[in-house]
Structure 1
Amino acid sequence: MPWGFNYDHDRDGRLIEDYWHEEWETVREDFAEMQALGANVVRVHLQLGRFMETPERPNARNLARLADLLALAEETGLRLDLTGLGCYHKADVPAWYDPLPEADRWAVQGRFWSAVAETCAQSPAVFCYDLMNEPLVAGAPREDWLGGGFAGKHFVQFLTLDPNGRSRGEIAREWIRAMTAAIREHDADTPITVGLIAHPPQNPGAFSGITPEIAVAELDYVCVHLYPETGKPDEALAMLAGFDRGKPVVIEETFPLKCSPEELETFLDRSAERADGWIGFYWGATPEELAERDDLGAALTAAWLDLFRQGPPPRPE
């Protein structure tokens, strides 16, 4: 049962690929700290531009460093949720990538996953491959592959710029199958999933275009991203229920972003009826280090980590 952290950036907002060559000891220290806090899974976000030098050629240096990360995870007893195809920093998106037509872009994405899976297939440290963070299927033509930014990063991207007569579900299924096939060339067993935005409770696939039915049919388990809001715990639980369709459901992102730590604790306890795992956030600072800072963000993060140290919520009998 995953109980862990998104290790999506450090305390300075840098992605792991920004420092894992020059500051490997920082990565080692952070993994030891996450393990000490009680984590068993770490979600790592990999940008496409750091792993594909050209549309055809993977980046051997970063694949080698990924192999080092696998060894570190094995050493610390942690499992990796490898989330790929990120375009979080626009500056890191290759100039050749966005002009590609859809079919060529998907082909590059498949080569990314083939290279990653070939590197990872023999490691027991891989918990899953998450095909993309919060993909969206456009229902009408658009011009930009990326969604809006948040805190200087673009966490959301689109699978197509033009549906061209296809339904959103048809596009989603075709893309998931193409990425899955690329991984299965090298790794037949590791679970595959997609990190989905859980919204809204009355139609949980309406925003992304990837419905619970598609997720259950095409993926090994379902991941949803849930940030409960103050005074609206039932709404968040209804979102979770919308994705509980017969396969395990992991809350792959959660944090007291829109509620208090106490409200989040209540939500986690109540979610245990349906959730099969929870993954929060760790940004390279321990609760003790955060206690030395005098700002609201540090206090909120420290409260979250104190909650995390209590362990996962008890599962109902």
Structure 2
Amino acid sequence: MCARSLAVIVCLWFASYLQAAELEWIQVSADGKSFVTAESQQRFVPWGFNYDHDRKSRLLEDYWDKEWQEIEADFAEMKALGANVVRIHIQFGKFMSAPDQPRKEALKKLGDLLELAEQTGLYLDLTGLGCYHKQDVPAWYDALSDQGRWEAQTHFWSAVAKRCAGSPAIFCYDLMNEPVVHGGKKKGTDWLGPGFAGKHFVQRITLSPDERTRPEIAAAWIKTLAQAIREQDSNHLITVGMVPWSLERKGLQSGFVPEKVSAHLDFICVHLYPEKGKVDEAIETLKGFDIGKPLVIEETFPLKSSPEEFEQFMLESRKYAEGWIGFYWGQSLQEYQQGTTISDAIMARWLEFFKQNGPRFKETQ
């Protein structure tokens, strides 16, 4: 383990164990507009990181068996940067050996992760059904019909919810990262959307044409998975990660229209990356997801804008959002500051912004 990892763990060891005892369950406020802690009824503002891969671009299940100390160090560092939520992405193929057979060893490691979150004082946004590495998707899973795939997904979520039901460290279950409904009149051929940086983040929930509207199909899918979770866990919050083109506008649409699919969601999540010269457009898009339930920007980053424009977007987004989740990839702020590339500089500025502005974003508005 590197000196960075050891130093962070030592500095936070005592505080983390105290915080574990104080971790309260999170719920939606009585007025339905924000989040609060269940016992003290204090406002809770999600402020955290997508921990979707490490510095080597590996997914969590690729290294959590042999490099657990690095995960402990990363959690400690995210906590030190001011995070209260970590978004974890777990893969369907790593958790299911057959359509109705969860892998016991994967559920055990998930239990270890829950314990780590409790000890560190961090909540988990647990995003499931990942198929990010196409080579790891089971052939039998891709061969299933629409209905068969939904049934397999209910078994996944039932097993995960059963394992997590008793832990206060779960902030929410995110049913899937960026799902879309098949929109063609002919049967589709690929469950996954185009790749990006070696991973497939967009996933179709259907391939077959259907007489129902796309939002009706999306709402039915959400209801199906939410019911599977609720049979095991009646308390933790449920959401789904929506792409910005979920709104009913001209052009590309996902079928997950917020106001038409949200009956069984506790809050709304959108993934939104402001573009250069289009901060106002990003804010207008964000406004479209503000439908009367708490709204979290579950993914955001200065990917397509200047750091200055991104920070402008973040500040203006406070009019509508109740939470923000950016990115952390297993490297410290100091490492990025000492880096020599443009990407190092961008990441360093983002982490600096995150650390410095956490109190302002998390304070009661």
Category of TM-score, reference length = shorter chain: over 0.9
Matched with 2:317 is 271
Once the two structures are superposed, the pairs formed by residues 110-129 of structure 1 within 5 Å of their partners are 110-129=154-173
Structure 2 residues without counterparts, runs of 5 or longer: 1-44
Q: Distance in 2 between matches of 1:300 and 1:136?
A: 30
2:65 maps to 1:21: yes
Relative to 1, partners in 2 of residues 1:190 and 1:204: Cα closer, same or farther, differing over 3 Å? farther
User: 1:215 deviation in Å?
Assistant: 3.9
Q: Distance in 1 between matches of 2:250 and 2:104?
A: 39
2:188 maps to 1:165: no
Relative to 1, partners in 2 of residues 1:200 and 1:137: Cα closer, same or farther, differing over 3 Å? closer
RMSD over equivalenced CA pairs, Å: 1.6
User: 1:218 deviation in Å?
Assistant: 2.7
TM-score, normalised by the number of residues in structure 2:
0.84
Q: Distance in 2 between matches of 1:47 and 1:149?
A: 16
The letter for the 1-side match of 2:298 is E
The letter for the 2-side match of 1:288 is Q
Matched with 1:289 is 335
Q: Distance in 2 between matches of 1:61 and 1:48?
A: 14
The letter for the 1-side match of 2:306 is S
The letter for the 1-side match of 2:150 is W
Q: Distance in 2 between matches of 1:266 and 1:116?
A: 38
The match for 1:137 among 177, 181, 195 is 181
The match for 1:254 among 300, 318, 321 is 300
Q: Give secondary structure in 1 for the equivalent of 2:296.
A: strand
Q: Distance in 2 between matches of 1:96 and 1:87?
A: 13
Report if aligned partners of 2:296, 2:324 keep a CA contact under 8 Å in 1: yes
Q: Distance in 1 between matches of 2:188 and 2:46?
A: 37
Q: Distance in 2 between matches of 1:98 and 1:283?
A: 29
Q: Give secondary structure in 1 for the equivalent of 2:176.
A: strand
The letter for the 2-side match of 1:237 is I
The letter for the 2-side match of 1:182 is A
Report if aligned partners of 2:237, 2:266 keep a CA contact under 8 Å in 1: yes
Structure 1 residues without counterparts, runs of 5 or longer: none
The letter for the 1-side match of 2:99 is P
Report if aligned partners of 2:161, 2:232 keep a CA contact under 8 Å in 1: yes
The match for 2:80 among 21, 36, 42 is 36
The match for 2:140 among 86, 89, 96 is 96
Q: Distance in 1 between matches of 2:51 and 2:67?
A: 15
Q: Give secondary structure in 1 for the equivalent of 2:297.
A: strand
Q: Give secondary structure in 2 for the equivalent of 1:96.
A: helix
Matched with 2:274 is 228
Q: Distance in 1 between matches of 2:299 and 2:254?
A: 16
Report if aligned partners of 1:130, 1:194 keep a CA contact under 8 Å in 2: yes
The match for 1:152 among 198, 208, 221 is 198
Q: Where in structure 1 do 4 or more consecutive aligned residues deviate above 2 Å?
A: 199-206, 214-218, 311-317
Report if aligned partners of 1:272, 1:316 keep a CA contact under 8 Å in 2: no
Report if aligned partners of 1:215, 1:222 keep a CA contact under 8 Å in 2: no
Report if aligned partners of 1:205, 1:211 keep a CA contact under 8 Å in 2: no
Q: Give secondary structure in 2 for the equivalent of 1:217.
A: coil
Report if aligned partners of 2:194, 2:200 keep a CA contact under 8 Å in 1: yes
Q: Does 126-135 or 195-204 show the bigger shift? A: 195-204
Q: Give secondary structure in 1 for the equivalent of 2:102.
A: coil
Q: Distance in 2 between matches of 1:232 and 1:38?
A: 29
2:262 maps to 1:216: yes
Report if aligned partners of 1:198, 1:205 keep a CA contact under 8 Å in 2: no
User: 1:216 deviation in Å?
Assistant: 3.3
Q: Distance in 2 between matches of 1:201 and 1:143?
A: 25
User: 1:88 deviation in Å?
Assistant: 0.2
Matched with 1:52 is 96
User: 1:169 deviation in Å?
Assistant: 1.2
Give CA-to-partner distance per residue, 1:227-260, whole Å, 9 cap, x none: 0011111100011000101000000000000012
The letter for the 2-side match of 1:113 is W
The match for 2:236 among 181, 186, 190 is 190
Relative to 1, partners in 2 of residues 1:182 and 1:202: Cα closer, same or farther, differing over 3 Å? closer
Q: Percent same amino acid among aligned pairs?
A: 58
2:265 maps to 1:203: no
Matched with 2:105 is 61
Aligned length: 317
Report if aligned partners of 1:11, 1:283 keep a CA contact under 8 Å in 2: yes
Q: Distance in 2 between matches of 1:205 and 1:260?
A: 26
The letter for the 2-side match of 1:87 is C
Report if aligned partners of 1:205, 1:212 keep a CA contact under 8 Å in 2: no
User: 1:110 deviation in Å?
Assistant: 0.4
TM-score, normalised by the number of residues in structure 1:
0.97
Q: Distance in 2 between matches of 1:124 and 1:204?
A: 42
Q: Does 160-169 or 35-44 show the bigger shift? A: 160-169
Matched with 2:10 is none
Relative to 1, partners in 2 of residues 1:42 and 1:241: Cα closer, same or farther, differing over 3 Å? same
Report if aligned partners of 2:246, 2:256 keep a CA contact under 8 Å in 1: no
Q: Distance in 1 between matches of 2:70 and 2:107?
A: 19
Q: Give secondary structure in 1 for the equivalent of 2:210.
A: coil
Q: Give secondary structure in 2 for the equivalent of 1:130.
A: strand
User: 1:206 deviation in Å?
Assistant: 5.8
